[in-house]
Structure 1
């Protein structure tokens, strides 16, 4: 798993974590925002009217209503990205990461408007009588680029696992184990069965389920979050100030947090923003293609609301909970994931400014760091390291109270431990101690700092269960539409079987490994979609102007 994670990290370094990717994503959103004259502002009110059904007609072609298409798409975006993803972004980039999530969402409102409109225009009815749409259809029929359409469809199948399946299952299982002590394998098994029962019913059942889950889960989660925010009201002002002030400087060291450079916070904020609202990824257009309407632009306007609800509202609330509670910079006892832990040569202390500077450079990829991973043998006595020549790092922080135990037991390990490139070479060793935490664990801890006390953790677990499960449902639909495009309707059932199996496996897999794969899957789907919508920018402007002129004339 360590070798596989390192391979994924290497691949991601050329894609989502590369310096150029955030500029491409935001650049496309900025281009369309200016080119279409800020549609996310001009059409915001109209979008709400379309969702309410004000302009619906009974004989419009499609499978579901505007509202159900919106909730299906929202169920695909409102998931672990809003709970785990925001926490992961702040863990990596500090408060500044939240600002760049906002920017990604604002520009993403336009990007999603464009991709949904174009996909809806080129949708078609399949052999089984249902509507199928998505970027692969406008790439094929609008651009006459079959090869690009096939590449996107393949990327969608991959991303259905990387975005909608594996991280959702892993996030649920992690939260359930932390809160209730449930075995991740049992959690994965039960939810995999429920997932299979829902997705076999197709878009009608999916839309029916998500239209009920999405509003419910939003209310439960927001109530729990506000209980933390109001309990820490005095910290809200400083939290907002840190988000804004750090946006163009990076985040300084605070508590166990060792600091993040501007470049790192920018990259992580944009990357996690994309994971959360999926604007530009090309996923939501697949759900919106099922909406009953003859007007592609009308459905595009509905999609403007998604990044607003997902990121501007829900992700901001999560971010304020984490920042105002202070848990993001505190060390907590936890069992170290192999992918999060590394052993470095030499003794480092947070109290030493020279050490802080070296670790800051090391963690943020800044040149000039003297930090080296350790290779050699270390004596362990009753679970405690007997050498002063190493420092255990976990979750981008200096670990404290570190204990080495024999896997599956509480027996303390004694003996010589071989370390290669910072990694212990004994498989049955479990390492635990105090360090920063991230993802669902961080958000869960933050929710215990409110009026509900420890009960807050149950709100996160229930919210994550509903958020992530609905996301997995929606993404199964995206994947089966891509399979339909590639191989026809007969390929849907085999795909769903593999999808459910993946959901089960991810529940007890390495969290960091899952998230690293997720980062790759998102980008391989996003790049061809961004290229496609840029190629059709003139057609998009014509469609928008024609629709709006017609609407104004009727009014």
Structure 2
């Protein structure tokens, strides 16, 4: 698993974690925001009216209403990115990462508007009478770039597993195990059966289920979030301040958190922002292509609301819960994931400034880093490593404390272990101790610091169950539309079987590996979609002008 994770990280270094990617993603959003005259601001009120059905026309082709299409698209975006993803962004980049999530969402509102409008405009009716759309169709039917459409469709199928499938069930199972001590295999088996029952019914059943789940889960999560925020109201000012003051300088060290450079906070914030609202990724347009809309722009206007609701509203609530509760910089007892475990040469402490600076340079990979990973053997006596200043154990980007090596789940280990390039080489040993935590586990701890007390932590597994499960449902639809484009209706059932099998497997897979795989898959969709959008920028502007011209004409006649 460590080898595979390192390989995926290497690939991600050329994609989502590369220096160019955040600038490309934000640059496309900024270009269209300026080119179309800030549509996310000017058309915001009108978008709510379209969503409410005020301008609907009878006999319009489509499978779902505006609200059902939005609910399906939201269910595809409101998931672990809002709960585990925000926590991961803060864990990696500190409070400053929230600022860049906001910027990604604001510009993403325009990006979403463009990709949904173009995809709806070039949708088609399939063999079974349902609508199919998405970036692959405008790439093929308008740009005559079938090769690009094929790349996007293949990436969509891969991303359906790496974004909508594996991270979702992994976080659900992790949260259920931590809170209710339910075996991840049991969680995976039960939800896999339910997933199969829903997705076999196609878009109409998917839309019916998600349109009921989304409002319930949103309300429950908002109530839980506000219970923590108001309980820690004295810390809200400081939390907001840390988001803005560190936005262009990087997040300063605090508690067990050793600090994050500007580049790291910027990259992680944009990356997690994309994972949260998926603007530019080309996934939501597949759901919106099913909507009954007489003009593609009207459905594009509805999609403007997605990044606002998903990132600016829900992710902000999550961020304030984590920051105001203070748990993001505290160490907690936990089982150390091997992929987060690191042995470095030399003795370091997070209690003195010189060591903190050295550790900061190591974790943020700055040019002045002098720390090297440890290679050698470690003597362990009665569960405790005998260091003599030769090495320091890091876990989850923090100096680990009270570290114990155990076997068979409970017995203290005595013997020698080998460490190769910072990695522990012995599979039958568990390492436990105190360190920072991340992903859904961090958000769950934060929710226990509110008016509901320890009972607050139960909000996370319940909302995560609904958030993540609905995301998996929506992404199964995205994947099967890509399959239909590539091989036709005959490929849908085999895809669905494989999708459910992958869902079950990921329930007990390593968390870090799943998040890394999802980061790679996201960018494999995003790059072709951004290219297609830019090539059609003039057509997009003309389509929007035509919509408002017809809209004004109809209103004058009334």
Q: TM-score, normalised by structure 1?
A: 0.99
Bigger drift between 545-554 and 413-422 goes to 545-554
Superposed counterparts of 1:371-520, under 5 Å: 371-388=371-388, 389-406=390-407, 408-520=408-520
In the aligned structure 2, how far is the partner of 1:213 from the partner of 1:7? Answer: 37
Superposed counterparts of 1:71-90, under 5 Å: 71-90=71-90
In the alignment, which residue of structure 1 is the partner of 2:233?
233
Is structure 2 residue 223 aligned with structure 1 residue 223?
A: yes
In the alignment, which residue of structure 2 is the partner of 1:145?
145
In the alignment, which residue of structure 1 is the partner of 2:47?
47
Superposed counterparts of 1:109-148, under 5 Å: 109-148=109-148
Alpha-carbon offset, residue 368 of structure 1: 1.4
In the aligned structure 2, how far is the partner of 1:87 from the partner of 1:545? Answer: 41
Alpha-carbon offset, residue 390 of structure 1: 1.1
Alpha-carbon offset, residue 58 of structure 1: 2.4
Alpha-carbon offset, residue 552 of structure 1: 2.0
Superposed counterparts of 1:143-542, under 5 Å: 143-388=143-388, 389-406=390-407, 408-542=408-542
What whole-Å deviation, never above 9, does each CA across 1:123-169 have from its counterpart, x for those lacking one?
00001110000000000011000000000000000000010000001
In the aligned structure 1, how far is the partner of 2:409 from the partner of 2:442? Answer: 25
In the aligned structure 1, how far is the partner of 2:357 from the partner of 2:424? Answer: 26
In the aligned structure 2, how far is the partner of 1:345 from the partner of 1:510? Answer: 26
Determine helix, strand or coil for the equivalent of 1:430: strand
In the aligned structure 2, how far is the partner of 1:549 from the partner of 1:107? Answer: 25
Determine helix, strand or coil for the equivalent of 1:339: helix
Alpha-carbon offset, residue 449 of structure 1: 0.2
In the aligned structure 1, how far is the partner of 2:355 from the partner of 2:170? Answer: 34
Q: TM-score, normalised by structure 2?
A: 0.99
In the aligned structure 1, how far is the partner of 2:501 from the partner of 2:24? Answer: 34
Residues 61 and 293 in structure 2, CA contact (< 8 A), matched pair in contact too: yes
Determine helix, strand or coil for the equivalent of 1:220: helix
What whole-Å deviation, never above 9, does each CA across 1:433-488 have from its counterpart, x for those lacking one?
00000000000000000000011111111000000000000000000000000000
In the aligned structure 2, how far is the partner of 1:329 from the partner of 1:426? Answer: 30
In the aligned structure 1, how far is the partner of 2:495 from the partner of 2:376? Answer: 46
Alpha-carbon offset, residue 352 of structure 1: 2.2
Bigger drift between 176-185 and 364-373 goes to 364-373
Alpha-carbon offset, residue 553 of structure 1: 2.4
Alpha-carbon offset, residue 69 of structure 1: 0.2
Alpha-carbon offset, residue 409 of structure 1: 2.1
What whole-Å deviation, never above 9, does each CA across 1:397-418 have from its counterpart, x for those lacking one?
0000000001x42001000111
In the aligned structure 1, how far is the partner of 2:530 from the partner of 2:364? Answer: 28
In the alignment, which residue of structure 2 is the partner of 1:92?
92
In the aligned structure 1, how far is the partner of 2:364 from the partner of 2:304? Answer: 34
What whole-Å deviation, never above 9, does each CA across 1:41-83 have from its counterpart, x for those lacking one?
0100110001111111220000000000000000000000000
In the aligned structure 2, how far is the partner of 1:19 from the partner of 1:360? Answer: 19
In the aligned structure 2, how far is the partner of 1:549 from the partner of 1:325? Answer: 50
In the aligned structure 1, how far is the partner of 2:318 from the partner of 2:413? Answer: 39
What whole-Å deviation, never above 9, does each CA across 1:339-378 have from its counterpart, x for those lacking one?
0011111110112222111111111110111111111111
In the aligned structure 2, how far is the partner of 1:58 from the partner of 1:458? Answer: 45
In the aligned structure 1, how far is the partner of 2:554 from the partner of 2:454? Answer: 55
What whole-Å deviation, never above 9, does each CA across 1:159-193 have from its counterpart, x for those lacking one?
00010000001010000001000000110010000
Determine helix, strand or coil for the equivalent of 2:334: strand
Residues 409 and 430 in structure 2, CA contact (< 8 A), matched pair in contact too: no
Determine helix, strand or coil for the equivalent of 2:102: helix
In the alignment, which residue of structure 1 is the partner of 2:7?
7
Determine helix, strand or coil for the equivalent of 2:412: coil
What whole-Å deviation, never above 9, does each CA across 1:498-548 have from its counterpart, x for those lacking one?
000000000000000000000000001000000000000000000001101
Determine helix, strand or coil for the equivalent of 2:342: strand
Alpha-carbon offset, residue 122 of structure 1: 0.2
Alpha-carbon offset, residue 554 of structure 1: 2.2
In the aligned structure 2, how far is the partner of 1:409 from the partner of 1:130? Answer: 52
Residues 57 and 294 in structure 2, CA contact (< 8 A), matched pair in contact too: no
In the aligned structure 1, how far is the partner of 2:6 from the partner of 2:123? Answer: 39
Alpha-carbon offset, residue 386 of structure 1: 1.2
